[in-house]
Amino acid sequence: MTYSNGISNGSVNDAANVERLALSSNLPDAVPGLLQTVASHGKDLLAQDPEARAKLLEAARSLTFALETPREAIIRHCWSESTSYAALETAVDINLFSALGTDDKPKTVTELAHATSVDPILLGRLMKHLAAMGAITETGYNEYCPTGFSKVLTVERYSDAFPLMTRRFTKGIMALPAFLKKNKYQNPTSPTDTAFQMGYETDMGFFGHVQKEPITAKQFNNHMSVYAQGRVRWVDPGFYPVQEQLVDGVTIGKDDVLLVDVGGSFGHDLSDFRRKWPGAPGRLVLQDLPEVVVSVQDLHPSIEVTGHDFFTEQPVKGARAYYMHSVLHDWPDELCRKILANTVAAMRPGYSKVLVNENVIPDTGAYWETTSLDLIMMEIGSGERTERQWHSLLESAGLKIVKIWTAQKGVESLIECELA
């Protein structure tokens, strides 16, 4: 469905019409239908529909974009979002949200300035903007109380996102326009010539910095754990039929490997699998670089931990399934084929599978989290992929896609593959 803003394309060159366009809603024709959609999802939310909140939020976002004028959109993108980020990171750095507390009791700027050792005039300015952007609630003159958002940011696991983005992402993202222009607007495919390296003026790639900087590694792992939180997982009921697709119809002895988690970091996915499928037969093997797995702790005792570089030969031969979660999106196609070639060489024909747990960007209606992540990955020379791109990549590596399993919009799919 298409909508009109009431001004024809040919009249945009007329100054008066341009001004009227800039001060008119982006998509006024869409507003009535979106109002009905918001009302409908609102009723579903009150009726305790588990999917209603996400649908209502998406409809409300669409309504905001339709009502917003071009002038307002420009100011939002250029002013409010960038300054909100700066205020949030500053608030994290001075422990403002911890000082504000989690008890819903309002506190004055004077109290908070004393608790954080920050100039009260400066703090008052920051808090005005944080309240205007919904991060905290203004309850009176120079008086504020926390929101759910600010309460969560009292925990380092959540607040680490802000210093991480500044430390190792934001400069690269802001360098993207200049980088793309320098490269004549070709799709980035090199992990050694990236916007990240331009923005941070470094020869080392992003993952090199993660490996060499303990603070970056900690913040990155915390942020990734938050990203995964609350999302439907492939081992959850109704997503991927583990019993039917992995266990039934084959014999898996106690010494056979059921699942290899390739590049599995600290083993969260295997732990989740063992917790939800405690009776699944066979061994579970976690693989990642030696410097990563040395820090693994609190895993189920049945999970074996092995140091392994997935750019080298896969040591586990003939496993039932080789699982890769958010591995291939880190690398351009050429390097993905090297990773996959090592896996394909270890597979047993007619038995082994490759399970790729990644975003699959739909042809239309892509979710904003996925498209945001795609541009973040563009910064380091990689990206998210569409269904067509997944077919092309996996088939070029000697695999065929059995099925792409998807639970809901905006959640990573599970791409089930076998040898071609």
Active site includes 329?
yes
- Residue 152: pLDDT band by 50, 70, 90 thresholds? very high
Q: Which two tokens stand for residue 36?
A: 């009905």
Q: Is the pLDDT score of 8 beyond 60?
A: no
Yes or no: domain 231-419 corresponds to CATH 2.40.110.10: no
Give the rounded percent of residues in the chain with a pLDDT score beyond 70: 97
**CA dist., res. 406 & res. 415, Å (int):** 9
- Predicted confidence band of residue 211 (pLDDT cuts 50, 70, 90): confident
How do beta strands 303-307 and 137-140 pair? Answer: unpaired
- 30 pLDDT above the threshold of 80: yes
Residues 203-228 have a mean pLDDT of 90
Choose between 14 and 339: higher pLDDT. Answer: 339
Residue 384 is among the residues annotated as catalytic for this protein: yes
Active-site entry in 58, 379, 384, 412: 384
CA-to-CA dists, residue 289 to 213, 263, 265, 292, 340, angstroms: 15, 7, 8, 5, 17
Q: What's the fold here for domain 73-154?
A: Arc Repressor Mutant, subunit A (1.10.10)
Average pLDDT on 350-363 reads 97
- Per-residue pLDDT at 408: 85
Active-site choice (89, 223, 329, 412): 329
The ranges assigned to domains in the chain are 9-68, 73-154, 162-227, 231-419
Interval 239-264: pLDDT, tens: 999 999 999 988 998 899 999 999 99
Tell me how far the alpha carbon of residue 107 is from its chain's centroid. Answer: 34
- Tens digit of each residue's pLDDT (9 = 90 or more) over 31-42: 999 999 999 999
What is the per-residue pLDDT across 264-276, written as a single tens digit (0 to 9) for each? Answer: 988 989 999 999 9
pLDDT of 376 above 60: yes
Tokens (6 digits) for 180: 């793309």
Q: What is the pLDDT of residues 48-70, one digit of tens each?
A: 887 899 999 999 999 999 999 99
DSSP one-letter string for 20-80: HHHTS-S-GGGHHHHHHHHHHHHHHHHTT-TTHHHHHHHHHHHHHHHHS-HHHHHHIIIII
217 three-class SS: helix
The rounded mean pLDDT for the chain is 94
Task: Please determine, for residue 212, whether its predicted confidence score (pLDDT) is greater than 70.
Answer: yes
pLDDT score, position 187: 96
**Stretch 202-224: mean pLDDT, rounded?**
91
Model confidence at 228: pLDDT above 90: no
Encoded tokens for 224 = 């990734």
The confidence score (pLDDT) of residue 45 equals 94
Q: Which residue has the higher pLDDT, 50 or 406?
A: 406
Q: For residue range 275-309, what is the model confidence (pLDDT) as tens digits?
A: 999 999 999 999 999 988 888 888 888 899 999 99
Looking at 358, 379, 412, 416, which residue is catalytic? Answer: 358
Least confident of 87-96, 316-325, 345-354, 407-416: 407-416
Residues in the chain: 420
